[in-house]
A and B are shown apart, each in its own frame.
Chain A
Amino acid sequence: MRLTFRGGVHPKGRKELSREVPLRRFDPGPGEMVFPLAQHIGKPAKAIVKKNDPVLVGQKLAEADGFVSACVISSCSGKVKAVEKRRTIAGTMSECVVVDNDGAYTPIDGLGQKQELSHLTNQDILNRVKEAGIIGLGGAGFPTHVKLAPKEPDRIKYLIANGAECEPYISCNDQLMRSHAAGIVEGLELALRLFPHAECVVAIEDNKPEAIAAMQKAVAGKARMRVLPLHTKYPQGGERSLIRVIAGVDFPVSMLPADVGCIVLNVGTAYAIGRAVAWNEPLFSHVLTVTGEAVQTPANFIARDGTSLAQLLEACGGVKAGVTPKKALSGGPMMGVAVASLELPIQKNTNALTLLAEDPVERAERQQTVCLHCGRCSTICPNGLVPALMADAIAMQNWGRYENKLHGLECIACGSCTYICPAKRPLTQMFKQTKAEIMARKRAAQAGGKA
């Protein structure tokens, strides 16, 4: 029996477009580099540079503002052009540091130097992770130094390195594991120091045999570490799916993974921890895939933060001749965000630019019918919800039923129900909106109660 969670869907992987292309560095030429201050979950960082300040590669541009926040690091050298509102990948205007890149990439002192690790205390490791501005590179962008500091580190049983990469099209973590397995393991070993009773499990979907082999080689002989090949299925790389498989626990959204004894780190994050702690290299570059049917030569990059999507597309030979891109996604087609323009800076947790030649949503909108009550959504929901009934409750504005009887707030917005729905109804989208509305109402009620 192959390891997997309950439910899930099998969208076309399309990883063959880019999976065999080795990682390469991409350094954009002189020009603007834009660093949003709110790339993570939590409070936006506070800018510590001002207009005309000279900056170097690896220099801190903004300081974490409070505990749940993260620093922002410059990926280029040059002069600060402005600290102003710019449009970001999230679609909103938000405060950014704009640096005029001189193209020389002059580093700060000591960047990339091997560090002595034996004397480091746990607090030293957490401080370095925080100073390096590391956030979860898998998606949501939760500050890693917060994640690595649960209330009771001794009760953590599993440190899960997430190399599942279940999102279609994306292949950068596959390539990272193939070529930088030792670097990932270095970061994981450092993280493992924080959790004395934890076992590190590197979880990889079985459609990446080369990555599995490379990681197995890298963990060979290491204590408390193993590689676990998983069934290929979306959303296998979701935090909760992984914990279901590895720790055998289902837990409600009111609980954190640490509450059930698990810490999940993306392999990219693990690599960033290793670079930051062992090599004094803060997080200013990360792996990213540029792919899709509309891209000339899809590729995997180690890209610098602040580079624009358009520059990366250029580096791939631009749009494929004779093809009109219909949709550009930051990320993959399941969880990714559609962007209106490519003149947007990549952020720490931008893992892909997917340029689609066909927009399946256009066709789906033509095929949309009423709900058949076929129940496919409930069969595949990885959390065991009944999306069709949730949608009915929304239609009737029965929020009590939505929240209490149907447990609608347990939705993790993985998109599986929208994907599978034969009536092509935008279920996930409704749930995201409803969740936001219910939360807003709760906050308002709370504020009202206080006043």
Chain B
Amino acid sequence: MNQTLNLSSGPHVRDAWSTSFIMKMVLLALMPATVIGILTFGLPALWVVLTSVLTAVGTELIYDKLTHRPDTWKDGSAAVTGLMLALTLSAQAPLYTPFLGAVFAILVVKCCFGGLGKNFLNPALAARCFLLISFPNSMTAYGIDGVVSATPVAELAAGQAVNITSMFLGSANGVIGGSILGLLIGGLALWSFDVIHGQIWISVLGSFTLFMGLFGPKGFDPGFLLAHLCGGGVVLGAFFMATDYVTSPMSRLGQTFYGVLIGVLGALFRIKGQAADSFSYSIIVANLFTPLIDTYIVDKPYAFRKRMIQRRLEGKQPFRIPKPVVVLTGIALLAGLALSGVYSMTKENIDAQKAAAAAKAYQAVLPEAASFEACTEQLAALNGEVYGEGYGRVYIRDALIGKDEAGNVVGYAVSVSSAEGYDGNVTLSVGVSPEGKINAISFTELHETPGKGMLCGEPAFMDQFAGQEAKALILGTDIDAIVGVTITSKAVTNAVNAGVDFINTQLRGK
């Protein structure tokens, strides 16, 4: 025994888990969703994933070399960021988006703030938000096999039914990591191995569902709530993004608070805001609160906690609801009341404005009419369902017969909505003369991409309909589509056709 013995302060054994081991576990847990995503969306998805992951790792490698820092690119955290970013992108995204996003995530959000453990935002989500702001068009082009259409959450926001099964399995339209099945397999596995904290994802999903049920448009309708949970990255966010160690609070109480914040904000953005990408923002906002939460909300040691239940059993103290629960419930209620208050206060105004806009639109399409007669019977027969076949998801909202002062029919007007706009609903009125000619069309709801979809609201496009025979118009033959605005052009034409068909079959000649 002459050799030197190591000296160190105890303990002298260590758990097998290291930083890179945890990163590998997260990568593995993301695999089911990634594989399903690639199988669903095909090769483009694979390219997006590869670009994002390789760029993220490469950026960190170059940063390490240039700044002579330890080789942190090997620990796997950059790969996790890259993969998470890819899963939040559309397979249709041009490859420069994952590239720029990964560079932004690693270089700006992570490395510039001191590398692993120091970033104050989740790098993948921050990059996604960066891309959403920078490239709104290509970032929201979701589709399978090149056919771009609205995402389920956009449809939900438009008040339509969606196919939850396809959302669950991942075959629905959306981001690459959209398979709830795959995400749940990975997320629950991580949870069961204690890699992620249950209090975060449970409080995120729980508060989201509760808030959506309490203040959402459909109450606790299971199908509606499930559809909202399955869509728009709620599951990806709850299991993989919100649980990101660095940007989530450390104590159990703080984690619960943080989770509730994400859930409530997410639901609030869904109910009141633009549909699809709100969940990313709610997590980013909660990230910003993490240092504050860690400063003020810290678990007390067991010896300092009041064990309410035990005291109640011993009869020493009446049972009290834990303070955080009271506070959080209070905040949730106040926010909800404020929202519903604002809503009901403004509702009349909004309704009046809507009616005025509609009246204006009817006037525009039937200028000769002095009064309008509602066709409630024919409308009621539709049951509010999708109208006809071949028009896509088109709904007849209103139907009127226009009469002049003498009571003679001078034309027919319908209000038609198509849910297949590029960014939600397109609603328009179409007027048809008794002779069977289209008078004009007028938009009451059109919020498409400026410079693209919005061009459909310009006379150059709209005026093509005026004077056309009241029959099914064909895009490209009867109507020239706007170059590069196929989706909106198609939605508008379909809506007009549906309206004309309704007038022809239900109103004219009766």
| Residues on A facing B (Cβ under 8 Å) | 6, 9, 11-12, 168, 244, 248, 250-252, 310, 313, 318-319, 324-329, 333-342, 356, 359-364, 367, 369-376, 378-379, 383-386, 388-389, 405-407, 410, 415, 418-424, 426, 428-429, 432
Stretch of B16-24, B134-142, B322-330 with 4 or more beta carbons under 8 angstroms from chain A: B16-24
Instruction: Give Cα distance in the complex from A165 to B251, angstroms.
Output: 30
Instruction: Give Cα distance in the complex from A362 to B248, angstroms.
Output: 31
Contact between A339 and B5 (Cβ–Cβ < 8 Å)? yes
Known: A373-B246, A384-B301, A385-B301. A333 touches B6 (CB 8 A): no
Which residues does chain A contribute within 8 Å of B310, judged by CB atoms? 248
Which residues does chain A contribute within 8 Å of B17, judged by CB atoms? 376, 420, 422
Whether, in the assembled complex, B116 has its beta carbon less than 8 Å from a beta carbon of chain A, the answer is yes
Which residues does chain A contribute within 8 Å of B248, judged by CB atoms? 373
Cβ contacts B243-262/A at 8 Å (1 or 0 each): 00110101110010000000
Cβ contacts B1-41/A at 8 Å (1 or 0 each): 10101111111111101111110000000000000000000
Contact between B11 and A418 (Cβ–Cβ < 8 Å)? yes
Known: A310-B1, A383-B303. A359 touches B6 (CB 8 A): yes
Contact between A372 and B303 (Cβ–Cβ < 8 Å)? no
Task: Tell me the nearest residue of chain B to A410, going by C-beta.
Answer: B301
Name the prevailing secondary structure of the A interface residues: loop
Q: When the two chains form the complex, which single residue of A329, A378, A422 contacts B250, counting CB atoms closer than 8 Å? A: A378
Known: A383-B302, A384-B302, A410-B301. A325 touches B1 (CB 8 A): yes
Known: A252-B303, A373-B246. A360 touches B298 (CB 8 A): no
Contact between B14 and A419 (Cβ–Cβ < 8 Å)? yes
Contact between B250 and A415 (Cβ–Cβ < 8 Å)? no
Contact between B11 and A388 (Cβ–Cβ < 8 Å)? no
Contact between B12 and A432 (Cβ–Cβ < 8 Å)? no
Identify which of residues 230-288 in chain B touch chain A, using a CB-to-CB cut-off of 8 Å. 245-246, 248, 250-252, 255
Q: When the two chains form the complex, which single residue of B14, B22, B301, B305 contacts A361, counting CB atoms closer than 8 Å? A: B14
CB distance from B24 to the nearest CB of A (A): 11
Instruction: Give Cα distance in the complex from A413 to B18, angstroms.
Output: 21
Contacts A339-B5, A386-B251, A422-B21 known; 12 new A-B pairs at CB < 8 A: A313-B1, A325-B1, A327-B7, A334-B11, A335-B10, A364-B14, A367-B18, A371-B117, A379-B197, A384-B299, A406-B298, A432-B9
Which residues does chain B contribute within 8 Å of A329, judged by CB atoms? 10, 12
Whether, in the assembled complex, B194 has its beta carbon less than 8 Å from a beta carbon of chain A, the answer is yes
Instruction: Give Cα distance in the complex from A422 to B248, angstroms.
Output: 17
Instruction: Give Cα distance in the complex from A363 to B12, angstroms.
Output: 11
Can you show 10 pairs from A to B with CB atoms below 8 A apart? Answer: A327-B12, A334-B11, A338-B10, A361-B8, A367-B18, A372-B246, A376-B194, A384-B301, A389-B251, A415-B11
Known: A378-B252, A385-B301, A424-B14. A372 touches B19 (CB 8 A): yes
Contact between B10 and A324 (Cβ–Cβ < 8 Å)? no
Instruction: Give Cα distance in the complex from A422 to B304, angstroms.
Output: 28
Q: How large is the interface on B (under 10, 10 to 19, 20 to 34, 35 or more residues)?
A: 35 or more
Task: Tell me the nearest residue of chain B to A331, going by C-beta.
Answer: B10
Task: Tell me the nearest residue of chain A to B7, going by C-beta.
Answer: A338
Task: Tell me the nearest residue of chain A to B20, going by C-beta.
Answer: A367
Instruction: Give Cα distance in the complex from A245 to B256, angstroms.
Output: 27
Which residues does chain A contribute within 8 Å of B300, judged by CB atoms? 384, 407
Contact between A389 and B298 (Cβ–Cβ < 8 Å)? yes
For A333, A362, A422, the residue with the greatest tally of chain B CB atoms inside 10 Å of its CB is A422
Contact between A359 and B251 (Cβ–Cβ < 8 Å)? no
Which residues does chain A contribute within 8 Å of B197, judged by CB atoms? 375, 379
Whether, in the assembled complex, B294 has its beta carbon less than 8 Å from a beta carbon of chain A, the answer is yes
Task: Tell me the nearest residue of chain B to A319, going by C-beta.
Answer: B1
Contact between B303 and A410 (Cβ–Cβ < 8 Å)? yes
Which residues does chain A contribute within 8 Å of B19, judged by CB atoms? 367, 369, 372, 422-423
User: 7 shortest A-B CB distances, which residue pairs?
Assistant: A415-B11, A384-B302, A370-B117, A250-B302, A250-B303, A333-B12, A333-B13
Task: Tell me the nearest residue of chain B to A409, going by C-beta.
Answer: B301
Q: When the two chains form the complex, which single residue of A339, A360, A369, A421 contacts B13, counting CB atoms closer than 8 Å? A: A360
Whether, in the assembled complex, B75 has its beta carbon less than 8 Å from a beta carbon of chain A, the answer is yes
Contact between A407 and B304 (Cβ–Cβ < 8 Å)? yes
Q: When the two chains form the complex, which single residue of B3, B7, B117 contacts A325, counting CB atoms closer than 8 Å? A: B3
Whether, in the assembled complex, B118 has its beta carbon less than 8 Å from a beta carbon of chain A, the answer is yes
For B115, B197, B301, the residue with the greatest tally of chain A CB atoms inside 10 Å of its CB is B301
Instruction: Give Cα distance in the complex from A336 to B9, angstroms.
Output: 9
Contact between B1 and A11 (Cβ–Cβ < 8 Å)? no
Contact between B13 and A12 (Cβ–Cβ < 8 Å)? yes
Which residues does chain A contribute within 8 Å of B115, judged by CB atoms? 370
Which residues does chain B contribute within 8 Å of A318, judged by CB atoms? 1
CB distance from A74 to the nearest CB of B (A): 27
Task: Tell me the nearest residue of chain B to A387, going by C-beta.
Answer: B250
Instruction: Give Cα distance in the complex from A386 to B304, angstroms.
Output: 13
Q: When the two chains form the complex, which single residue of A12, A359, A375, A421 contacts B245, counting CB atoms closer than 8 Å? A: A375
Known: A378-B299, A388-B250. A373 touches B9 (CB 8 A): no
Instruction: Give Cα distance in the complex from A407 to B1, angstroms.
Output: 43
Known: A384-B301, A389-B298, A407-B301. A338 touches B12 (CB 8 A): yes
CB distance from A355 to the nearest CB of B (A): 9
Known: A384-B299, A410-B301, A410-B303. A419 touches B15 (CB 8 A): yes
Q: When the two chains form the complex, which single residue of B8, B252, B255 contacts A338, counting CB atoms closer than 8 Å? A: B8
